A and B are shown apart, each in its own frame.
Chain A
Amino acid sequence: MPHVPGTQETAVKLVGVNKWYGKFQVLRNLNLSVARGERIVVCGPSGSGKSTMIRCINGLEEHQEGRILVDGTELTDDGKIGDAIRREVGMVFQHFNLFPHLTILENCTLAPMKVRGLSKAEAEEVAMHYLTRVRIPDQAGKYPGALSGGQQQRVAIARALCMKPKIMLFDEPTSALDPEMVKEVLDTMVGLAGDGMTMLCVTHEMGFARQVADRVIFMDKGEIVEEAPPAEFFDNPKNERSRQFLAQILH
């Protein structure tokens, strides 16, 4: 089901991005343009820089060379711009990173209240809306520790959505989950994709990629090696490294 983005406006743009950890270059000349409403799946071997790229997009990591534009605004060293951009970009982590001392509802209302300035009542209304969307409104009063991994990850998705982000980043959202919980999280993400959310998702869930991705990006050794629609990438990879990688994950 290939998706044609409604507009060709650019949500995220990377131009010649380079990044080093000390002398080690993690990102090499990344060029990428993500249209509004586009769904990108990023895959590649461990250590290839997928997380680093995603984390640069919401300013959790700094890049040293090149430009990153989010929603038309360039990420610079200016902390204020970083804050402004992070508000528009939601992120879901591999290990959920819910706040253990806050209830599910409070996890979802904290940032809207402190960052967006919503009243408690407004924030709770938004939170319940998204908790219903991810199908766990009945857990709102519990603490994260009382929830299963799959439920926690769905809460993490709802928590990010409560900030009404324009772009959602996912960094291996299902790889810390027990197999039986992967589907509930992927279903939530498929639903989100159906709403037209711009998504960049690091995942090795090939079924998900085939179902929702407009493009698959394959990274290796800090480079974007191949970029293609999922059907093309999985069935007919052009690059030798992509082929090796696919052979490995498909056993």
Chain B
Amino acid sequence: MELNFDDVTRYGALLIEGSIFTVVVCVAAGLVGLCLAILFAEGQRRAARALRILIRAYVEFIRNTPFIVQLFFIFFGLPSAGVKIDANTAAFLALTLNVSAYFTEIVRGALETTPKGQYEAGAALGLRPRQVFFHVVLRPALAKVWPALVSQFTLVFLGSAAMSQISAEDLTFAGQFIQSRTFRAFEVYIVVTLIYAGLALAIRSLLLLSGGRLFPWLRGAR
């Protein structure tokens, strides 16, 4: 069998665009998802009972259904409920909801390990519960589970390939498009696979490294 990458390279620009979209949409979903997860995790500990149950149900629902089904649900479901939504936005939304549910579980676990003394010291200084949460509890908790968050994010990043199924213009979508034009399936997917691997490794290392910056007090302590 002869490999010929000429056709693939002609579409290089598409692959780059697709890669950029994949990275941007995943990072954005990761950031928004983390913010949501922090609210949900703390909400599950402190909010009114009804709200706690709602959050719990949301987290369980997301974690017990396939991502691609969630994606279809949003992309095809919202329009029939009267909300117009394009494929790229639907993909972002689905990724955000998906990652937020997994992050919620991780963050909640971290919050639970916070020593009682930290809350007491905060309260004894006159800080209100919200201030204690944001200024005292949150950062050490995130630091504790940073590697877990990074792993989970990597999984979501790779799983994001599913968004090509609703024709969001990601890296996999670009691959499918080039393949349909050139009939060089093997070459195309060799390249696409390598790009995914490179990006995943790069993102993971970058995030793990940035943990040192985000959580400077752990330097030397580990």
Spell out A's residues near B (CB within 8 Å): 58-60, 83, 86-87, 89-91, 93, 95, 97-102, 110-111, 114-115, 143-146, 156, 159-160, 163
Contact = CB atoms under 8 A, between A and B. Distances in A.
Interface string B113-124: 001011011111
A95 B140 contact: no
B131 interface: yes
Contact of A159 (B117, B125, B136, B216): B125
A97 B135 contact: no
B125 A115 contact: yes
13 contacts: A60-B123, A83-B128, A86-B123, A86-B126, A87-B126, A91-B121, A93-B121, A95-B117, A97-B115, A99-B136, A102-B217, A114-B127, A156-B121
Nearest to A99: B136
Interface of B: 115, 117-118, 120-128, 131, 135-136, 139-140, 143, 215-217, 220-221
Given A83-B128, A91-B124, A146-B220, 14 more contacts: A59-B123, A60-B123, A86-B124, A89-B124, A90-B124, A97-B118, A99-B118, A99-B122, A101-B215, A111-B126, A114-B131, A115-B131, A145-B221, A160-B124
Contacts of A99: 118, 121-122, 136, 140
B126 A83 contact: yes
A102 B125 CA distance: 15
A144 B118 CA distance: 13
Nearest to A143: B217
A158 to B, nearest CB: 12
Contacts of A83: 126, 128
A83 B121 CA distance: 13
Contacts of A90: 124
A110 B135 contact: yes
Contacts of A59: 123
A60 B140 contact: no
Nearest to A112: B125
Contacts of B122: 99
A80 to B, nearest CB: 10
Contacts of B128: 83
Given A114-B135, A143-B217, A97 B117 contact: yes
A191 B108 CA distance: 43
Nearest to A92: B124
B136 to A, nearest CB: 6
Given A97-B120, A100-B217, A163 B125 contact: yes
Contacts of B125: 86, 110-111, 115, 159-160, 163
Given A100-B217, A101-B139, A60 B124 contact: yes
Contacts of A95: 117
Contacts of A93: 117, 120-121, 124
A101 B124 contact: no
A248 B117 CA distance: 29
Nearest to A156: B121
Contacts of B135: 110, 114
A101 B217 contact: yes
Nearest to A106: B135
B46 to A, nearest CB: 14
Nearest to B121: A97
A156 B118 CA distance: 12
Contacts of B131: 114-115
* 9 pairs of A and B residues whose beta carbons are closest in the complex: A97-B121, A111-B125, A97-B117, A91-B124, A87-B126, A143-B217, A115-B126, A86-B126, A101-B139
